[in-house]
Amino acid sequence: MVFIGDGAFQMTGQELGAFARAGVHPVIFVLNNDGYLIERLIHDGPYNDIARWAYHRLPEALGAGLGLLARTEGELEDALDLANRRSDSLVLIEIQVDRMDSTPTLARVAGNFRTLSNK
């Protein structure tokens, strides 16, 4: 299983092709919050925006397996069910969340960095 942000995926996503060549079948969760949230929480600006890729369509384009889109909890449950039944294939699940969704821990840590960088 692989968990990756949309920003990090834009630097490494071509490796889907290598997975296909190696014949391995990970389940890949792409957490799509429309940019670099960790940086937005510290200091926001247009440099935290990234291109809006259709991540769930990339496995098909790269001949690498199945891509699914989850925009709600129900869609995520359906995608997990399908991934469970498709262990013979790479499955990429794009999970769309709100732009500023964050765990309390991340918000606290980033807030401390923000305070330090404003001193």
Ligand X SMILES: Cc1ncc(C[n+]2csc(CCOP(=O)(O)OP(=O)(O)O)c2C)c(N)n1
Which positions from 26 through 45 interact with Mg ion, judged by CB under 5 A? Answer: 33, 37
- Residue 38 binds which of ligand X, Mg ion, none (CB < 5-8 A, kind-dependent): ligand X
What span, in angstroms and rounded, lies between the C-alpha atoms of 53 and 9?
10
Dihedral sign for Cα atoms in the order 36, 45, 98, 13: negative
What span, in angstroms and rounded, lies between the C-alpha atoms of 44 and 54?
24
**Which of 29, 36 has the CB closer to ligand X?**
36
Which positions from 2 through 41 interact with ligand X, judged by CB under 6 A? Answer: 5-8, 11, 31, 33, 36-39
What span, in angstroms and rounded, lies between the C-alpha atoms of 21 and 10?
20
**Residue with CB nearest Mg ion?**
5
- Residue 18 binds which of ligand X, Mg ion, none (CB < 5-8 A, kind-dependent): none
Q: Amino acid identity, residue 28?
A: I
Residue 61 contacts ligand X per CB under 6 A: no
- Residue 19 binds which of ligand X, Mg ion, none (CB < 5-8 A, kind-dependent): none
**Which of 4, 82 has the CB closer to ligand X?**
4
Q: Residue 6 CB, nearest distance to Mg ion (Å)?
A: 4
The residues binding Mg ion (CB under 5 A) are 5-7, 33, 37
